[in-house]
Amino acid sequence: MPPRLNLRDNYQQLVDEAAEAGLTYLVCASTPVATLDEISKSIEVFQKTGEACKKAKIGFAYHNHATEFDAVEGGKPPYELILSQTDKDLVTMELDLAWATKAGKDPVELFKQHPGRFPLWHVKDIKQDLKTLTEVGNGVVDFKHAFAAAQTAGLKYFFVEQDMAPEPIGNITTSYQNLSKLLS
């Protein structure tokens, strides 16, 4: 198995490969955010990667989980630091609506605070317990509210996702049907 590449050590190679493959975006799915030092290093990597992506004529985005909304030393959440300390023209977000909801964040408020910064969304739902993922439309994420603000967000693409779906075909079918009703 080939070595696992990462943006910190291999950002240019990953950008080049993404551009060569014809991708529209290169997305970072995870980064260390437990300390201010880790966040600072991640921001530096995001900026460099965003610059390389811009030169390659593709976008760069960061995908969140719930932990990015937890305050770290200094009292600020990593997500807020990433948004405020990166160039909006180089670093955008792939907002996971379920994880933002789990963290108590209103996606529309994020869109209003950082308009145009959210071209990608993971459309995923979570039950009332805020622990159990479920089909889109069967949980507590307010999709109508989010999609009504798609233009403010800068939405270009969304991806329906359900982590660890117990019945993948049935689960995606239910999500598709529920989302179709919500968006009609």
Residues 6+ apart with CB under 8 A from 179: 123, 136, 137, 143, 160
* Residue closest to 64 by CA, chosen among 35, 95, 85: 95
- Which amino acid is it at 119? P
Q: What is the pLDDT of residues 91-148, one digit of tens each?
A: 999 999 999 999 999 999 999 999 999 999 999 999 999 999 999 999 999 999 999 9
Using the structure block, give the residue that is written with the tokens 């869109």.
111
The domains located in the chain, with CATH, are 7-183 (3.20.20.150)
Q: Six-digit token pair at 27?
A: 């997305």
Could you report the per-residue pLDDT of 33-72, keeping only the tens digit for each? Answer: 999 999 999 999 999 999 999 999 999 999 999 999 999 9
Bigger pLDDT: 166 vs 158: 158
